[in-house]
């Protein structure tokens, strides 16, 4: 597991000023050569046992194992971007900015031709015939990761800054444009681990003990051998099952749409900034964006239900029996954001300066953080929930939707002075500064983590998530671990769902966040040019605990309760250091200025 990456790039920009125009051109090229060792993941089987009865009986509820042809493969991809921009000073009051950018992302290649794809995208009700040989359905040994990609993404942009009658106290700014993202390289891993380059099997209900006939590990290994022989011989699903050990199931597969598009965002803003005298200024800024062509995975395009009648809108049998779980990648996701920020800055007498910002915003999407990597390991849902209706349960509050956000900071150069030289050195040149942060809580979902495994709604191990069925009732304040935020009594019993949920993801709200830092600094003059500063900073000066979202899985005995705290994203010790920095931290500092 892991990657060895060699990256090289070329960047060049050219600026030309001519009259009232300031013109810029530029481009950048980047290439990554990757030794991708992701294939080693799951080569050691992963087993799950969900009930004490199965554990006592020596059965594993599920075993998953992958059999790659090689543990590492050479992958390469590149991107090219060019732009042109003209800043035009129309007059003393108005400046316009016109720009156009074009981006081209390559179709990733495997130098060993390790990619595999279907001859056509797999969607609900796929028309593949189980009697057709696997090697006529699967295009093996492909050089490119994707059937096709977007050739170029054009991104026009416009901005303006207007000061009425050349005013220096009032400015109106705004702009709009299209912005594009590169596709993340981790998408490539989905398609270089497809059958037959890397076979993956998920089997259910087999004995665990290695000494027992038909045990899980020997069965999954036998499945792989039988499938390889069957594929090379031009066999189909029926011939594979006939030659495989008892308990074998069809391999899993990752499918995709015919053409991979770049995620895009239409963004716009309008801001007014006003100075009130020479000590106070305020601004109001509206920002909005609409994302489209966002990546999202439907993990249940081959799912089915054995209930009578079939539940969740699923068919009674798998659309194609030749595969088990099939995931389908598309550019179907959308997002929307609207935010309004008001800011006030004031320079007071006696050396005090302060700034306060308030933002109201609402962010909605089908999937957050680009749809590939989770924003939060505990709360993010990366897949389409209802396989037949993306908007029904996915389009809701974003993982990072913060409705209210307040920040403030201040600097106070203490004005104290004394007549005596020694006393003046002691009481002068002190600076106090600090920051405050507060925002309302992040959303979270209530899920049933057992339902997919028990097959109460789906089979083929296909549904990534099933939302818990909410029966209504009050949702309590969620700011303390003393009381539960929600109760399991407000939901249908565990594993009793017959649909994918009745309320969208991220319908509940977690605890808010507050933090404050404080710094005191003393500057000591040494000579006319040299000063020595000594001070201390207290991070989380009030030692205020901030709590994580509650447990959102109704199958857990801790459902609805807060079990942990959260920490700032960075600290004096760096980033991602864990709970060690959740409390107050005192840092001493010294510096020499010259």
* Cα 551 from chain centroid (whole Å): 19
Q: Residue 25 — pLDDT band, cuts 50, 70, 90?
A: very high
Beta bridge partners of 361: 339
Coil, strand, or helix at residue 6? strand
Coil, strand, or helix at residue 374? coil
Q: Which residues contact 176 (CB under 8 A, 6 or more apart)?
A: 157, 158, 159, 266, 267, 268, 269
Nearest to 365 by CA among 394, 386, 340: 394
Task: Find the CATH number of the domain harbouring 488.
Answer: 2.40.170
Residue 217, both tokens: 């590990």
pLDDT at 63 over 60: yes
Nearest to 292 by CA among 337, 328, 255: 337
The number of helices, as runs of H, and strands, as runs of E, in the chain is 7, 27
389-431 pLDDT tens trace: 999 999 999 999 999 999 999 999 998 887 777 777 778 889 9
Beta bridge partners of 536: 520, 588
pLDDT value at position 78?
A: 96
pLDDT at 320 over 60: yes
Element (H, E) at 238: helix 237-243
Contact 331, 295 (CB under 8 A): yes
- State the CB neighbour count (10 A cutoff) for residue 378: 14
pLDDT value at position 424?
A: 74
pLDDT at 461 over 80: no
Percent of the chain exceeding pLDDT 90 equals 58
pLDDT value at position 547?
A: 93
pLDDT value at position 465?
A: 83
pLDDT at 359 over 90: yes
Distance, in Å, from the CA atom of 193 to the CA atom of 321, rounded to the nearest integer, reads 20
Q: Residue 139 — pLDDT band, cuts 50, 70, 90?
A: very high
144-176 pLDDT tens trace: 999 999 999 999 999 999 999 878 899 999 999
pLDDT value at position 454?
A: 59
- Which pairing describes strands 326-347 and 253-256: parallel, antiparallel, or unpaired? parallel
Distance, in Å, from the CA atom of 7 to the CA atom of 23, rounded to the nearest integer, reads 30
Q: Range with the lowest mean pLDDT among 48-57, 193-202, 431-440?
A: 48-57
pLDDT at 33 over 80: yes
Give a three-class secondary structure readout of 257-313. Answer: CCCECCCEEEEEEEEEEEEECCCEEEEEEEEEEEEEEEEEEECCCCCCCCCCCCCCC
Nearest to 32 by CA among 157, 188, 147, 156: 188
pLDDT value at position 402?
A: 97
pLDDT value at position 366?
A: 97
Higher pLDDT, 465 or 435: 435
pLDDT value at position 309?
A: 67
Higher pLDDT, 344 or 478: 344
pLDDT value at position 579?
A: 66
Kindly state the average pLDDT of the residues 366-373.
Answer: 90
Higher pLDDT, 189 or 87: 87
Q: Which of 346-350, 364-368, 445-449 has the largest mean confidence?
A: 364-368
pLDDT value at position 463?
A: 57
Q: Which residues contact 340 (CB under 8 A, 6 or more apart)?
A: 284, 285, 286, 287, 359, 360, 361
- State the CB neighbour count (10 A cutoff) for residue 395: 18
Maximum pairwise Cα distance, the chain: 100
Higher pLDDT, 74 or 38: 74
Range of the domain at 215: 3-593
Residues written for the chain = 594
Nearest to 567 by CA among 587, 545, 583, 582: 582
Give a three-class secondary structure readout of 134-192. Answer: HHHHEEEEECECCCCECCCEEEEEEEEEECHHHCCCEEEEEEEEEEECCCCHHHHHHCC
Element (H, E) at 219: helix 216-232
- Which pairing describes strands 253-256 and 574-575: parallel, antiparallel, or unpaired? unpaired
pLDDT at 458 over 70: no
Q: Residue 291 — pLDDT band, cuts 50, 70, 90?
A: very high
Higher pLDDT, 441 or 305: 441
232-256 pLDDT tens trace: 999 999 999 999 999 888 888 899 9
pLDDT at 593 over 90: no
Alpha-helical (H) ranges within 50-160 are: 52-57, 134-137
Contact 215, 207 (CB under 8 A): yes
Contact 277, 345 (CB under 8 A): no
Coil, strand, or helix at residue 225? helix
CA distances from 105 to 74, 148, 260, 373 (A): 18, 11, 10, 20
Count of domains for the chain? 1
pLDDT value at position 189?
A: 83
Kindly state the average pLDDT of the residues 506-519.
Answer: 95
């Amino acid at each position: 597991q892991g990657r060895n990456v060699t990256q090289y790039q070329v960047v060049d920009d050219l600026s030309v000023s001519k009259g009232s125009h300031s013109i810029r051109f530029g481009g950048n090229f980047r290439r990554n050569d990757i030794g991708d060792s992701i294939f080693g993941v799951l080569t050691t089987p992963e087993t799950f046992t969900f009930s004490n009865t199965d554990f006592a009986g020596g059965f594993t509820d599920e075993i998953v194992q992958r059999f790659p042809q090689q543990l590492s493969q050479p992958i390469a991809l590149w991107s090219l971007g060019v732009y042109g921009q003209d800043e035009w000073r129309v007059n003393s009051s108005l400046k316009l900015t016109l720009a156009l950018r074009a981006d081209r992302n390559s179709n990733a290649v495997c130098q060993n031709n390790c990619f595999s794809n279907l001859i056509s995208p797999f969607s609900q009700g796929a028309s593949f015939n189980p009697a057709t040989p696997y090697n006529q359905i699967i295009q093996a040994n492909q050089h490119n990761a994707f059937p096709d990609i977007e050739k170029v993404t054009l991104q026009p942009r416009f901005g303006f800054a207007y000061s009425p009658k050349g005013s220096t106290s009032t400015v109106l700014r705004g702009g709009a444009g299209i912005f594009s993202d590169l596709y993340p390289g981790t998408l490539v891993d989905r398609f270089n681990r497809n059958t037959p380059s890397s076979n993956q099997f998920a089997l259910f209900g087999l004995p665990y003990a290695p000494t027992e006939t038909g045990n899980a590990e020997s069965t999954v290994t036998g499945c792989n051998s039988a499938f390889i022989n069957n594929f090379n011989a031009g066999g189909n699903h029926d011939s594979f099952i006939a030659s495989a050990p008892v308990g074998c199931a069809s391999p899993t597969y990752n499918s995709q749409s015919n053409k991979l598009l770049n995620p895009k965002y239409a963004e716009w803003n309008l801001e007014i900034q006003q100075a009130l005298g020479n000590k106070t200024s305020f601004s109001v800024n509206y920002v909005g964006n609409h994302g489209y062509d966002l990546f999202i995975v439907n993990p249940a395009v081959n799912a089915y239900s054995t209930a009578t009648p079939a539940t969740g809108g699923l068919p009674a049998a798998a659309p194609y029996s030749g595969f088990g779980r099939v995931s389908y990648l598309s550019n179907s996701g959308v997002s929307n954001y609207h935010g309004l920020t008001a800011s006030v800055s004031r320079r007071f007498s006696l050396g005090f300066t302060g700034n306060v910002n308030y933002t109201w915003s609402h962010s909605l999407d089908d999937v957050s953080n680009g749809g590939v990597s989770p924003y939060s390991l505990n709360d993010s849902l990366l897949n389409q929930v209802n396989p037949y209706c993306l908007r029904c349960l996915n389009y809701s509050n974003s993982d990072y939707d913060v409705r209210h956000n307040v920040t403030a900071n201040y600097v106070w150069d203490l004005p104290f002075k004394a007549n005596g030289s020694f006393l003046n050195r002691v009481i002068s040149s002190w600076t106090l500064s600090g920051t405050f942060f507060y925002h309302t809580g992040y959303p979270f979902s209530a899920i049933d983590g057992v339902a997919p495994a028990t097959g109460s709604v789906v089979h083929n191990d296909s549904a990534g998530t099933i939302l818990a069925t909410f029966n209504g009732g009050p949702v309590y304040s969620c700011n303390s671990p003393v009381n539960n935020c929600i109760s399991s009594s407000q939901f249908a019993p565990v594993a009793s769902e017959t649909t994918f949920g009745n309320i969208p993801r991220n319908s509940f709200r977690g605890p808010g966040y507050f933090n404050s830092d404080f710094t005191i600094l003393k500057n000591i003059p040494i000579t006319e040019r040299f000063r020595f500063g000594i001070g201390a900073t207290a991070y989380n000066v009030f030692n205020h605990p901030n709590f994580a979202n509650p447990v959102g899985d109704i199958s857990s005995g801790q459902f609805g309760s807060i079990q942990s705290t959260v920490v700032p994203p960075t600290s004096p010790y760096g980033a991602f250091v864990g709970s060690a920095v959740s409390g107050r931290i005192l840092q001493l500092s010294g510096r020499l200025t010259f």
